[in-house]
Amino acid sequence: MRIAVGMSGGVDSSVAAYLLKRQGHEVIGVFMNNWDEQDENGVCTARTDWRDVQDVCDLLDIPYYAVDFSKEYMENVFQEFLSEYAAGRTPNPDVLCNREIKFKAFLDYAKQMGADRMATGHFVRTDDEGNLLKGADPAKDQSYFLYMVHREQLRYSLFPVGGMTKGEVREIARDAKIPVSEKKDSTGICFIGERNFKRFLSTYLPAQPGDIVLSNGEVVGRHDGLMYYTLGQRRGLGIGGRGDGRRFFVIEKDLKNNRLVVAQGDDDPRLYSDGCVCGDITFVGGPIPEGIPVPLTVKLRYRQADQPCVATLVGSRLLLRFEKPQRAVTPGQSAVLYDGEKCLGGGIIESLM
**Amino acid at position 294, single letter:** V
Alpha-carbon distance of 267 to 65, in angstroms, equals 52
C-beta neighbour count of 282 within 10 angstroms = 19
Crossing angle (nearest 10°) for helices 11-22 and 166-175? 60
Distances (CA, A) of 251 to 56, 207, 214, 216, 240: 47, 20, 9, 13, 16
Is 190 tagged catalytic?
yes
Is 97 tagged catalytic?
yes
Instruction: Pick the catalytic residue from 44, 57, 97, 278.
Output: 97
What are the start-end ranges of the E strands in 59-190?
A: 64-68, 117-119, 124-126, 132-134, 157-158
For the residues of 215-252, what is the DSSP string, one character each?
TT--EEEEES-GGG--TT--TT----S-TTSPPEEEEE
Distances (CA, A) of 331 to 69, 146, 335: 28, 19, 10
Alpha-carbon distance of 330 to 273, in angstroms, equals 10
In 3D space, the residue among 123, 219, 204, 120 whose CA is nearest the CA of residue 166 turns out to be 123
Backbone angles phi, psi at 293, to 5 degrees: -65, 130
Q: Diameter of the chain by CA atoms? A: 68
Query: CB–CB of 248/221 below 8 Å?
Result: no
Alpha-carbon distance of 70 to 76, in angstroms, equals 10
DSSP element (H, E) containing 14? helix 11-22
* Catalytically active residues, by annotation: 97, 190
